[in-house]
Structure 1
Amino acid sequence: MSQTPERTDVVIIGAGPVGLFAVFECGMLGLKCHVVDALEMPGGQLSALYPEKPIYDIPGYPRIGAQDLVDRLTEQAAPFDPVYHLGSPVTGLTQDGGIWRVETARGTAIAAPTVIVCAGVGAFGPNRPPLDGIEAYEDQGPGLGVKYMVGRIEDFRGRRVVIAGGGDSAVDWALSLADVAESLAVVHRRAKFRAAPDNVRRLEDLAAAGK
């Protein structure tokens, strides 16, 4: 064991949308929370991978940007004064006498009777294809080279873009970049996309229109 732990009512592992909303729900019950996440900012994949991606399946919002949603959830949680431990991957979880102890890679220890795991897919990094030397083409500047996420749509204005993939993320980004890229191609190993049917229809309509 490391240092004497900080004590709280609830430890929430994961600062994505579910974790942020859990802070609000716990706060409404009068419970104080510490929030632990491996990323350096709250928001999970929404902030780290696609902050400008439009989201259509949030109750009460026909359309909302990913970072806008994170900002609203953070604002909603703020009155309950959560303590954030960001850039702190969880390295240990033990229980003794009904109290959980959470330890992080930064040496922090937190003790609480309740732990809520809102980790999604867990800590993540780029999903590189198995191509030798691909690292040499990464991070060549805004909108250039091999990217594993679209941070700012404007970085791709006037660029020739190829998107590899056929799931929701690939199709969503194709729809978002269609109006700013000089040209856009979507390459998928299967004959059918695996994205939401309505988005696939919209993508096919763009292709038929010569986009």
Structure 2
Amino acid sequence: MTYTASSLTTDIAIIGAGPTALFAAFEARMLRLDCVLMDVLESVGGQCAALYPEKPIYDIPAHPSITGGDLITALEAQISPFDIPRLLGSRVSSLQGESGAFILKNDRGDTVHAKAVIIAAGAGAFGPNRPPLDGLETYEQSQAVQYYVKKRSDFSGKKVVIAGGGDSALDWALSLSDVADHIYLLHRRDRFRGAPETLAQVEAKVRNGKIEKVVPYQLHALHGEQGTLHHVEVATMKGENRHLEADALLPFYGLSTDLGPIAQWGIQTHRSTIPVHHATLETSIPGIFAIGDVASYPGKMKLILQGFSEAAMAMHAAHPIARPDTALRFEHSTSLGKPGTP
């Protein structure tokens, strides 16, 4: 099927479609501003949907616990009355113009004319740090090696090697130990990096046989045939080797991130983040704002709830650019009325 590129004119172009971007779209429409969501992923949700849809989040206000997937579903429901256009599945490749008259284009040929731009691109394009193992791609293609857990049920009754010493490795070892046949927790040191409560829970699972710690070992080789994994070979620095019977390997060695084309737009950047003015979230280029994990300023905390606050602040700061002839008076949502009503 041939794709027909589109051309849109809007008040605010939002680059990104994760939780912060979705709430920014809500704030835009509550201020009667038109907006469009643009993202390289095929669907909304960002890292919450792509990486951690079943992982519980505990610091979202009014939700003692909510999974990443359910949070995105709720944010989708919040903006559903507005029918916000989306240009997904293509990277924003260029941004030109000035405050009040920006032109954005993506790799697919779509063009967006916007008066202001909100960059809510998380940490930029992301991907896993892959272990240097021979034949790795074959096992990735068969899903025997995965870097994100989308469904816990995929590991039901399986023997799983989880490699890594940080929060992701510990959290998934705990979570999957309830459904997997056996969990090997592999780390090159006997010390893990995690909250004391998490470490205590892991030790309890180790004592009752739900988790087996394999330390101090590192990944050495994968053994199997035609993408079916049979054993994960691990080794110490002294050359001592073990073969762990396994159906799946989950390496949690963090993510590599890249701002991509954003770094070429003339915006001041610092270590893969975008410095912004704390009060307005405006970048070094007037009319372009950054919110969420990509934004940096003194006292910044990379929390979803802080991204929500930044979305509201940035949208209020962008309003005079989008509607210079309309006075903006702060109102609570109870005064603004039901979302989606004229």
TM normalised by structure 1 equals: 0.90
Q: Distance in 1 between matches of 2:141 and 2:181?
A: 20
State yes or no: 1:23 paired with 2:25.
yes
Q: Distance in 1 between matches of 2:11 and 2:42?
A: 23
Task: Decide which moves more: 132-141 or 74-83.
Answer: 132-141
User: Who is 1:11 aligned against?
Assistant: 13
User: Who is 1:67 aligned against?
Assistant: 69
User: Who is 1:205 aligned against?
Assistant: 204
User: How far did 1:40 drift?
Assistant: 0.5
User: How far did 1:4 drift?
Assistant: 8.3
Q: Distance in 1 between matches of 2:116 and 2:43?
A: 23
User: Who is 2:137 aligned against?
Assistant: 135
Q: Render the CA deviation track for 1:13-69: whole Å, top value 9, x for unaligned.
A: 110111111111111111111001111110011111221111112111111111111
Change (3 A) 1:19 1:190: farther
User: Who is 2:154 aligned against?
Assistant: 155
State yes or no: 1:39 paired with 2:41.
yes
Q: Distance in 2 between matches of 1:129 and 1:120?
A: 24
User: How far did 1:80 drift?
Assistant: 2.1
User: Who is 2:104 aligned against?
Assistant: 102
2:200 aligned counterpart, secondary structure: helix
Stretches of structure 2 lacking an aligned partner (at least 5 in a row): 211-342
Task: Decide which moves more: 3-12 or 25-34.
Answer: 3-12
Q: Structure 1 counterpart of 2:15, which letter?
A: I
Identity percentage of aligned residues = 52
Conserved? CA contact 2:10–2:34, under 8 Å: yes
**Runs of 4+ with >6 A deviation:** none
1:125 aligned counterpart, secondary structure: strand
User: Who is 2:178 aligned against?
Assistant: 179
1:115 aligned counterpart, secondary structure: strand
Q: Distance in 1 between matches of 2:70 and 2:140?
A: 28
1:184 aligned counterpart, secondary structure: strand
Q: Render the CA deviation track for 1:173-200: whole Å, top value 9, x for unaligned.
A: 1121010010001112344323344323
2:126 aligned counterpart, secondary structure: coil
User: Who is 2:121 aligned against?
Assistant: 119
Q: Distance in 1 between matches of 2:59 and 2:208?
A: 27
The number of aligned residues is: 206
Q: CA RMSD in A?
A: 1.8
Q: Render the CA deviation track for 1:58-98: whole Å, top value 9, x for unaligned.
A: 11111111111100001111122211111011101112463
2:86 aligned counterpart, secondary structure: strand
Q: Structure 2 counterpart of 1:175, which letter?
A: L
Conserved? CA contact 1:138–1:147, under 8 Å: yes
Conserved? CA contact 1:16–1:46, under 8 Å: yes
1:207 aligned counterpart, secondary structure: helix
Conserved? CA contact 1:32–1:80, under 8 Å: no
1:69 aligned counterpart, secondary structure: helix
Q: Distance in 1 between matches of 2:193 and 2:97?
A: 41
State yes or no: 1:193 paired with 2:192.
yes
1:107 aligned counterpart, secondary structure: coil
Q: Distance in 1 between matches of 2:202 and 2:118?
A: 38
Q: Distance in 2 between matches of 1:124 and 1:33?
A: 25
Change (3 A) 1:138 1:79: same
Q: Distance in 1 between matches of 2:180 and 2:129?
A: 23
Which of the two has higher C-alpha Rg? 2
Q: Structure 1 counterpart of 2:115, which letter?
A: P
Q: Distance in 2 between matches of 1:199 and 1:27?
A: 40
Conserved? CA contact 1:38–1:89, under 8 Å: yes
User: How far did 1:138 drift?
Assistant: 1.4
Conserved? CA contact 1:23–1:80, under 8 Å: no
Change (3 A) 1:188 1:80: same
Q: Structure 2 counterpart of 1:119, which letter?
A: A
